[in-house]
Structure 1
Amino acid sequence: MAVQQMYPRLVVPDADTAIAFYTAAFGAELVERFTDGSGAVVHALLRAGPAVWAVKDGDAADPPPSGAGGVVLALYVDDPDAVAAAMVDGGATVVFPVSDHAYGDRAGRLADPFGHRWTVAARTEDLSPEQVQDRTERAYP
């Protein structure tokens, strides 16, 4: 058996509001959106460049998060400062601001209004794995 595709599905309290947020913050396009008989979103697929993810309204089977979970979604973008600003404009909060890091990225972490954490980053240097390890050990002893 071969895996054909994997993408995260984010459970949120209001999928249509989340779709609007991700469209504005990331320039995402809505690929598909399906609802149940009550109008609740059971699946909405979004795409921003090569990144693909889905959102759905929380329900009894999949309740929305009540706090920060154990997953951080990492998104490489052309301009992490601009994306972070767009996220904040849409209601996200800064976990740590976008800045240059020793491991060769300009990155920051934000929490979206739906309880999901995102790292937005851009590569600033092409480093070998050994260089990243060495710099990380020195920067975070």
Structure 2
Amino acid sequence: MTHITALYPRLVVEGADAALDFYTRAFGGTVTERYTGPDGRVVHAMVEAGPARFAVKDAGDGDPAPTGDGVPVIMSLDVSDADAVAERMLGAGATVIFPIADRGYGDYGGRLRDPFGHQWLIAQRIENLTPEQVQERVG
């Protein structure tokens, strides 16, 4: 049986570092992870505020920041078997945005769109890396 191990939103913004500053000050949070791509833009940062946690990233790579009434949030679903969850989602009507694959930074997963337009980042941890190793592989 496949187990869900975590679920958290990924907030897509223009200016992730300014957003991280805002969220830590506004919510008394702490940035526990922060990784950048070769261009220096934030590709993933995790904020913890009390028992809540959420990710923040700069727009790009197919992820738009909110404009007008748009609310781009990517649900990140950590699971014990990414293939099984993706298979069930596809069988229920989801479509593939990024196929399930080894992502090189310790996760095996991909991204699917549900029939209602929401994006789901499905991830299965396959390698435990230090933050420095993740940054090296991402950047």
TM-score by length of 1: 0.50
| Percent of matched pairs sharing the same residue | 49
Number of the residue aligned with 2:42: none
Relative distance call for 1:52 and 1:97 in structure 2 (3 A) is closer
The higher relative CO (CA closer than 8 Å, separation ≥ 6) is in: 2
- The SS at the match of 1:134 is helix
Q: Decide whether the 8 Å contact of 1:98 with 1:108 is kept in 2.
A: yes
Moved over 6 A (4+): none
Amino acid at match of 1:96: F
> What pairs with 1:1-141 in structure 2 (closer than 5 Å)?
51=7, 69-137=71-139
Q: Is the 8 A contact 1:69 1:116 kept in 2?
A: no
| Greater gyration radius | 1
Q: Deviations over 1:44-91 (max 9, x none)?
A: xxxx666599xxxxxxxxxxxxxx851110000011011001001000
User: Aligned partners of 1:101 and 1:83: how far apart in 2?
Assistant: 17
- The amino acid that maps onto 1:70 is P
For structure 1, the 5+ residue unaligned runs are 1-25, 28-47, 54-67
How many residues align structurally? 78
- Structure 1's 130 and 117: CA in aligned 2 closer, same or farther, altered over 3 A? same
Which structure has greater strand proportion? 2
Counterpart amino acid of residue 100 in structure 2: V
- The answer to whether the 8 A contact 1:107-1:122 is kept is yes
1:102 alignment partner AA: G
- Unmatched tracts of structure 2, length 5 or more: 10-69
RMSD: 2.5
Match of 1:121, SS?
A: strand
Task: Name the amino acid aligned to 1:99.
Answer: A
| TM-score, normalization by structure 2 | 0.50
2: CA distance between counterparts of 1:127 and 1:78?
17
Name the CA shift for 1:71/1:135 in 2 (closer, same or farther; >3 Å). Answer: same
